[in-house]
Amino acid sequence: MQVRCPRCVRFVEWEGNPWRPFCSERCKLVDLGTWVDEEYKIPGEKSSEEDQKQADAVQLGNEDN
């Protein structure tokens, strides 16, 4: 049986999962609010995508020089 992790919405096996209903210790800690925000980046988060684009642009500019 699989359930969706309420934190990252990934499917996770329910049987034998010590972190259920979460997929991992990380998601459990995040949900409890004990995780440090700066250390945890949500994949696909808009702000980090923008940062990555800017970083890529800078690197491309340096290669042109």
Contact residues toward Zn ion (CB under 5 A) are: 5, 7-8, 23, 27
Q: Which is nearer to Zn ion, 24 or 52 (CB)?
A: 24
| Cα 64 from Cα 10, distance rounded (Å) | 41
Closer CB to Zn ion, 8 or 29, in the complex: 8
What is the distance between the alpha carbons of residues 33 and 37, in angstroms, rounded to a whole number? 9
As measured in angstroms, the least distance from the Cβ of 23 to Zn ion is: 3
Report the C-alpha gap between 61 and 8 in whole angstroms: 35
Question: Closest approach of Cβ 12 to Zn ion, in Å?
Answer: 7
